[in-house]
């Protein structure tokens, strides 16, 4: 298909698509949405302009492999009839990885140059990259550095990418989290227990916020707030006194200690934690606390475990009540893609083709007042946090209402 790119006419015939970072619902829907438009256009395009969409396996890792030696590990042919039903499934049919071609080590190894050389070996005329701000940022850099046609689509279950009111993957993770919370609640009610439930959410607490409210959690703890365990203990004790059970939802990005916290809170939490890890019963908590923090190739600290800290502090510093700790983990990423993520993914795939027709490259689709808008890949970033003046932030703790 002939389109305008940087003021010149180019013929886009072979389009590559990859999925990077963590998996989530909606990836497959974007692929199907784009492939539908390509298949539709091919019905009327001249033979010399017909297009094909090929999947690149395991995200950016595909472009670090040599097509002349490992083509079967790089390419997945995509036919609409074969994959159309996949839009209702979470995960990604192209598989994924957290490969950062612009990491310090990969820059020294000249990996961006290798990636671009492999794009040419594969005969790609355009690349579509599905991922969060890290994955999309790499697409923007590579496209700018080599003047290559790029598109993106914003995914993340955390819903924290700037430039869009909604990322695909978010709604399904909330739905699955709510089911998890509701299942725990029936046990909590049956046995007069308090459940501490940790859900994913790196630095933005949107999943915990929505799931906590929709799941009726008595207490919801977010990365955006100053966590005060003394207050949490009082909230839990109030819930137990009133209802004989309690649900505490914790975002994985919440912290006991932070430089932005008042010193008094950091010191108080340190004393609480010292009491916990001094008890042999909490040997696993002590081991976690002493374990070095790992980082991925983008420099993101691998989170998880704050719920275990909250659970152990509650159990140690209250009496006469049973506590249980549950971590939703990856269960809320997989399974089926719920309705909103199916629709949003299909819309984003459809929009990418529309941008291509308009000759609008180096962009990704965002949602604004239910309208699709184009956003610059070079300006993509994360950090779309829950503002403390947000209506839902003020509604997050059911215990406040009784």
> H helices of 53-132, where?
67-70, 80-83, 104-108, 111-121
Strands 322-327 and 193-199: parallel
Number of C-beta neighbours around residue 376 at 10 A: 12
Q: Please list, in sequence order, all residues whose beta carbon lies within 8 angstroms of the beta carbon of residue 125, skipping any fewer than 6 positions away.
A: 10, 11, 12, 13, 14, 15, 149
Domain boundaries, the chain: 2-168+337-379, 171-332
Coil vs helix vs strand at 29: helix
Judge if 2-168+337-379 and 171-332 fold alike in CATH terms. Answer: yes
Give, in words, the CATH class of 171-332: alpha beta
Q: How far apart are CA 25 and CA 402, in angstroms?
A: 36
For the segment(s) 2-168+337-379, the CATH number from 3.40.50.2300, 3.40.50.300, 3.40.630.30, 3.40.50.450 is 3.40.50.450
Per-residue confidence in pLDDT tens, the chain, 402 aa: 999 999 999 999 999 999 999 899 999 999 999 999 999 999 999 999 999 999 999 999 999 999 999 999 999 999 999 999 999 999 999 999 999 999 999 999 999 999 999 999 999 999 999 999 999 999 999 999 999 999 999 999 999 999 999 999 999 999 999 999 999 999 999 999 999 999 998 789 999 999 999 999 999 999 999 999 999 999 999 999 999 999 999 999 999 999 999 999 999 999 999 999 999 999 988 888 887 777 666 666 666 689 999 999 999 999 889 999 999 988 898 899 999 999 999 999 999 999 999 999 999 999 999 999 999 999 999 889 999 999 999 999 999 999
Residue in this structure with the two tokens 């790089």, named with its chain if needed: 74
pTM of the shown model: 0.93
Buried b (16+ CB within 10 A) or exposed e, 201-230: bbbbbbbbbbbbbebebbbbbbbbeebbbe
Residues assigned a catalytic role: 158
Q: How far apart are CA 337 and CA 209, in angstroms?
A: 20
Q: How far apart are CA 20 and CA 389, in angstroms?
A: 33
């Amino acid at each position: 298909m002939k389109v305008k790119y940087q003021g010149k006419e180019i013929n886009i015939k072979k389009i590559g698509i990859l999925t990077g970072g963590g998996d989530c619902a909606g990836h497959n829907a974007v692929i199907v949405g784009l492939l539908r438009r390509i298949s539709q256009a091919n019905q009327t395009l001249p033979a010399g302009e017909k297009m094909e969409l090929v999947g690149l396996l395991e995200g950016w890792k595909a472009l670090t492999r040599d097509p002349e030696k490992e083509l079967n590990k790089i390419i997945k042919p995509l036919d609409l009839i074969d994959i159309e039903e996949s839009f209702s499934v979470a995960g990604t049919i192209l598989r994924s990885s957290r490969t950062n071609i612009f990491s310090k080590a990969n820059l020294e190894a000249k990996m961006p140059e290798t990636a671009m050389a492999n794009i040419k070996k594969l005969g790609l005329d355009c690349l579509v990259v599905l991922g969060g701000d890290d994955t999309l940022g790499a697409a923007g850099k590579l496209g700018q550095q080599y003047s290559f046609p790029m598109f993106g689509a914003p995914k993340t279950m955390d819903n924290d990418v700037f430039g869009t009111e909604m990322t695909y993957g978010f709604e399904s993770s909330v739905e699955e989290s709510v089911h998890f919370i509701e299942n725990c609640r029936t046990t909590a009610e049956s046995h007069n227990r308090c459940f501490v439930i940790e859900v994913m959410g790196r630095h933005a607490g949107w999943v915990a916020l929505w799931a906590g409210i929709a799941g009726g959690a008595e207490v919801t703890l977010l990365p955006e707030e100053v966590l005060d365990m003394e207050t949490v203990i009082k909230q839990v004790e109030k819930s137990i006194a009133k209802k004989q059970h309690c649900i505490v939802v914790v975002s994985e990005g919440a912290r006991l200690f932070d430089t932005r916290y008042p010193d008094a809170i950091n010191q108080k939490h340190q004393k609480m934690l010292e009491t916990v890890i001094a008890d042999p019963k909490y040997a696993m908590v002590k081991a976690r606390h002493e374990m070095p923090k790992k980082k991925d190739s983008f420099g993101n600290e691998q989170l998880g475990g704050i719920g275990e800290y909250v659970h152990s502090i509650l159990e140690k510093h209250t009496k006469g009540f049973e506590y249980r700790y549950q971590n939703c983990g990856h269960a809320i990423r997989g399974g089926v893609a719920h309705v909103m993520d199916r629709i949003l993914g299909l819309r984003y795939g459809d929009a990418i083709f529309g941008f291509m027709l308009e000759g609008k490259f180096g962009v990704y689709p965002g949602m604004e007042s239910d309208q699709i808008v184009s956003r610059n890949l070079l300006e993509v970033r994360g950090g779309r946090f829950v503002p403390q003046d947000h209506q839902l932030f003020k509604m997050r703790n059911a215990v406040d209402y009784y």
